[in-house]
């Protein structure tokens, strides 16, 4: 894991008007597979769980 990345925050989950950097498009269709997002998040949780033991 990259030790410099400690977290992240999405301020806009969906695309709106001129901004197109969301995880979902303006019609709320996923642009990224939700299972892939879950997989990435679970790896981070497992990493920090092991670090805190």
State the pLDDT at residue 10. 77
Enclosing domain of residue 36: 1-53
DSSP state string for 20-48: --SSB-TT--BSS-HHHHHHHHHHHHHHH
Instruction: Report pLDDT for 8.
Output: 73
| Residue 5 near residue 43 (C-beta atoms within 8 A) | no
Question: Interior CA angle at 43 toward 36 and 48, to 5°?
Answer: 150
- List pLDDT tens digits, range 1-53: 556 666 777 788 899 988 888 889 999 999 989 999 888 888 877 777 776 66
Residues 6+ apart with CB under 8 A from 47: 1
Q: Give the H or E element holding residue 49.
A: helix 34-52
* Per-residue pLDDT at 26: 92
Question: Domain total for the chain?
Answer: 1
């Amino acid at each position: 894991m990259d030790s410099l990345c400690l977290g992240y925050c999405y301020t806009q989950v969906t695309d709106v008007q001129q901004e197109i950097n969301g995880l979902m498009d303006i019609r709320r269709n996923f642009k990224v597979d939700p299972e892939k997002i879950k997989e990435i998040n679970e790896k981070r949780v497992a990493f920090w769980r092991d670090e805190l033991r």
